[in-house]
Structure 1
Amino acid sequence: MSTDTDFAAPRPTTVAPERRPTFADVVRSEWTKFHTMRSTRVVVIAVVVAMVGLGAVISAGTARGFVRLTPEEQAAFDPTLVSLRAYFPVQWLVGVLGALVMTVEYRTGMIRSTLAAVPRRGRLLAAKALVYGVVVAVLGQAVAFGAFLVGQPMLAAQNAPTAALGDPGVTRAVCGAGLYLAGIGLLGLALGTLVRATVGAFAILVALPLLPTVLPLLPAGIGEDIAEYWPTVAGERVMFVVDIDGGLAPWPGLALFLGFVAVVHVAAYAALRVRDA
């Protein structure tokens, strides 16, 4: 009897290698998560209302008080900055939305699935920064120009000085306001990555612009020197058209601020790389 079999030996099967997500894939995923996040629309609407609406209120109120200013104060009056003053509370809104881009994943536990799908954590953080950076840059420019265009007629209605986009330094200041807000938004993302909690990131965001107000209380003038180069103070210089105190020039000040944001992002990446989800 033959020992040969009539069955052919099974052929080895080949398994297609699992496709790793590209950076474009990660960006698309992060965009989907961002625009479907419940807080996104709420914060964006709040930013528009606060920057334009509150800016109009500030401009109108400041214009009514212009006649009561001293000659020195009238000479230092900066109509462009007045119309952009609402940036101060708005920076906390864009900052907390940036923090939520990361912290919401820790709160819901989604971060484990995200890191399983995108094990290269630097790529993940870069994709989040790109998506939110583009969004907040466009949003910042839109609300800055909106606040300026609404605020200047409020000043003119009370016969206070006004500014036009063609005046020296005005367009730079308005565009700079949008860039400053974009930087704050990315700072919020980095802080959210570092502390992994919305409340903690928001507390730091609130403290950063307020701390310079108490620094001059330090002895021997040390606080004043620190305050001049404080990141948020330096960044705000880009919105000044009338320079009354001889501080940092607009673009170097903004560069110092954005450099600080970059340093915080490096720290955020280092923390994200070594910590468990």
Structure 2
Amino acid sequence: MTLLAVERIKLFSTRSPYWCSALAIVLGVGLTAIIAAASEEQVSLGLTQIGSAQLAIAVVLVMAAIAVTTEYRFGTIRSTFLAVPNRTSALVAKTVVVAFIAGVLGEIIAFGSVGIAKLLSSNSDLSINTAAEWRHVAGVGIVYAIGAIIAVAVGILVRQTAGAVSILLVWQMAAEGLIGFIPKVGIKIQAWLPFTNATHFLTMGADSPEQGGAGIDFKLSQWGSLAYFAGIAVAMLVVALIVAKRRDA
């Protein structure tokens, strides 16, 4: 518990978590507000989560990576490892704190988006009743938390802010989507890509353009896709921890 408290204090001693959190909320909830205000028809529950699934998550990934790379940049990671010789414990504590914050932020954005849509489009039916609807909204926080683990792992491996952020943004926002354009095998490969599976977990049934994953023949159920996404995140973190133990800080 002491390590968790220390990592929380260290994280919030810089401005980046505050700015990233604010930007993520503005992008996620703000896009929903624009859609709801501009729409002359009813807004669907799926549309309320476009900002959280496509824009806000990118900012959260950046925040998670910076939580690690900043320490390497300013050399404070050396002090951390001197105070806690067990590097694995220190880095796992940091990962837990960052993932928890990312998860909470995801829930705020997801439910905040539904709330603003109800306010601006009062004639829309945005009630959350079915299990699929709850998964679509409440599942955003879970995806953010797992995504943060991946971002921390990338940060540990790369150690440089620019490199880690570039990898994460290109990976999450472009690379997985572009793979689908590869003739014959692109869509088959997409069915096993981590962030594509995270999107599949959040869908409310048949894939549609507004939910993502259209045309992909997923081999896993939606909860299976979440487990697969989490498995990749844990595997990457394990590799990152092994590398961190074997090289100089």
Task: Give the TM interval when normalised to the shorter protein.
Answer: 0.7 to 0.9
Please say if 1:98 is aligned against 2:72: no
Please say if 1:136 is aligned against 2:102: yes
Q: Which residue of 1 aligns with 2:147?
A: 184
Q: CA deviation at 1:52?
A: 1.1
Q: CA RMSD in A?
A: 2.0
Q: Which residue of 1 aligns with 2:248?
A: 276
Secondary structure in 2 matching 1:36: coil
Structure 1 stretch displaced more, 162-171 or 30-39: 162-171
Change (3 A) 1:110 1:168: closer
Distance 1:55 1:267 in 2: 37
Residue type at the aligned position of 2:89? R
Unaligned runs of 5+ in 2: 208-214
Answer yes or no: is the 8 Å Cα contact 2:99–2:144 preserved in 1: no
Q: Which residue of 2 aligns with 1:85?
A: 50
Secondary structure in 2 matching 1:243: coil
Per-residue deviation, residues 199-249 of structure 1 (Å, max 9, x unmatched): 111111112221122223323x21110112211010111221141456443
Residue type at the aligned position of 1:37? T
Per-residue deviation, residues 26-54 of structure 1 (Å, max 9, x unmatched): 22211110111121211111122221112
Secondary structure in 2 matching 1:163: coil
> Aligned match of 2:111 in 118, 132, 145?
145
Change (3 A) 1:154 1:251: farther
Change (3 A) 1:189 1:60: same
Q: Which residue of 1 aligns with 2:15?
A: 38
Q: CA deviation at 1:60?
A: 4.1
Q: Which residue of 2 aligns with 1:14?
A: none
Q: Which residue of 1 aligns with 2:133?
A: 170
Answer yes or no: is the 8 Å Cα contact 1:79–1:152 preserved in 2: no
Q: CA deviation at 1:96?
A: 0.9
Change (3 A) 1:42 1:193: same
Please say if 1:52 is aligned against 2:29: yes
Residue type at the aligned position of 2:153? A
Distance 1:130 1:257 in 2: 17
Q: CA deviation at 1:145?
A: 0.8
1:1-277 map, 5 Å: 24-61=1-38, 63-64=39-40, 79-87=44-52, 88-155=54-121, 157=123, 162-209=125-172, 210-219=174-183, 221-244=184-207, 245=215, 247=218, 248-277=220-249
Residue type at the aligned position of 2:47? V
Which one has a bigger Cα radius of gyration?
Answer: 1
Distance 1:215 1:95 in 2: 21
Answer yes or no: is the 8 Å Cα contact 1:103–1:197 preserved in 2: yes
Unaligned runs of 5+ in 1: 1-23, 68-77
Residue type at the aligned position of 1:26? L
Secondary structure in 1 matching 2:62: helix
Percent identity of equivalent pairs: 28
Answer yes or no: is the 8 Å Cα contact 2:24–2:55 preserved in 1: no
Q: Which residue of 1 aligns with 2:210?
A: none
Q: Say how many residue pairs are matched.
A: 238
Secondary structure in 1 matching 2:248: coil
Distance 2:92 2:132 in 1: 33
Q: CA deviation at 1:195?
A: 0.2
Provide the TM-score with structure 1 as the length reference: 0.79
Distance 2:140 2:203 in 1: 10
Change (3 A) 1:250 1:162: farther
Distance 2:76 2:229 in 1: 32
